[in-house]
Amino acid sequence: MAKEKEPQKLIANNKKAYHEYFIEETYEAGISLHGTEVKSMRMGKCSIKESFIRIEDGEIFVYGMHVSPYEKGNIFNKDPLRVKKLLLHKYEINKLAGKVAEKGYTLVPLQVYFKNGKVKTQIGLARGKKLYDKRESIAKKDQRREMERDFKVRNL
C-alpha cells in the first residue's frame, strides 16, 4: 500500500526576507528540536522574522528563531530563543560555506513547515538589496496592485 503524501503545513513565513534580499537559491533543511518545541510548532507558535543562519565548524545553526514554550510542557520546555542546529548534507554545507565567504552573500530562513510529519525549514542564499532596489520593488508592487484594481473595475 503506497503511503500518501500529506501537503505541507506552513508554520512560519519570513516575508521581510524577500523585501530585504534577492533570494538566489533555496535549500530544504531539517531542524534538530526537542519534543515540547515540536508540540508548540504544531500549534503554530514559531517566528523567524529576526532570525539568521550561520555556519560554524562545518555545522549550520539558526539564531533568533523564536519557538514559544509549550503550555503543558512545564520543566521540559527549552529556552524559546535557543540556537537550533539545521540538518543538511555535508556537501551542501560546504557549498553554502563557499558561497557565504563571497562578499555580499548571507543565509536567511524563508519558511518553516511540516513535511511528512517532520519540521523542515526552507533556507535561502541571499544577496542584500540596496535602498534603490527596495524602492524599485515597492514601485513594481504598487504598479501591479493598481493594474489589478483597474482590471477588477472594468470587469464589473
- pLDDT per residue as tens, the chain (156 positions): 555 566 777 887 888 888 788 888 888 988 888 777 787 888 878 888 888 888 888 889 988 888 777 777 666 666 767 788 888 899 888 888 888 887 778 888 988 888 888 888 988 888 877 777 778 888 888 888 888 888 777 776
Other C-beta atoms closer than 10 Å to the C-beta of 62 total: 23
Contact 33, 112 (CB under 8 A): no
**Is there a contact between 97 and 68 (Cβ–Cβ < 8 Å)?**
no
Question: How high is the pLDDT of residue 96?
Answer: 86
Of 110, 117, 140, 143, nearest in space to 28 by CA: 110
pLDDT at 119: 84
Cell of 14: 519570513
d(CA 25, CA 106): 11
9-129 CATH, one of 3.40.50.150, 2.40.280.10, 3.80.30.20, 2.60.40.10: 2.40.280.10
Q: Where are the domains of the chain?
A: 9-129
Contact 121, 29 (CB under 8 A): yes
pLDDT of the residue at 156: 65
Query: What's the pLDDT score for residue 38?
Result: 80
Rounded to whole angstroms, the Cα distance separating 124 from 86 reads 13
pLDDT at residue number 82: 79
